[in-house]
Amino acid sequence: MVNLNKKFGDKIKFIGINVAVNEKIERVKDYIKSNGINFPNIFDQDKKIIKAFNVMGTPTHIIIDRKGVIRYRDSELPEDLGKHMKELLN
Residue 3: what residue type? N
What structural domains and CATH numbers belong to the chain?
2-89 (3.40.30.10)
**Residues 84, 88, 89: CA angle, nearest 5 degrees:** 120
Express the helix, strand and coil content of the chain in percent, nearest 5 each. Answer: 35, 15, 50
Tens digits of residue pLDDT in 31-79: 999 999 999 999 988 889 989 999 988 888 898 888 888 988 998 887 8
Instruction: Please state whether the predicted TM-score (pTM) of the whole model is above 0.85.
Output: no
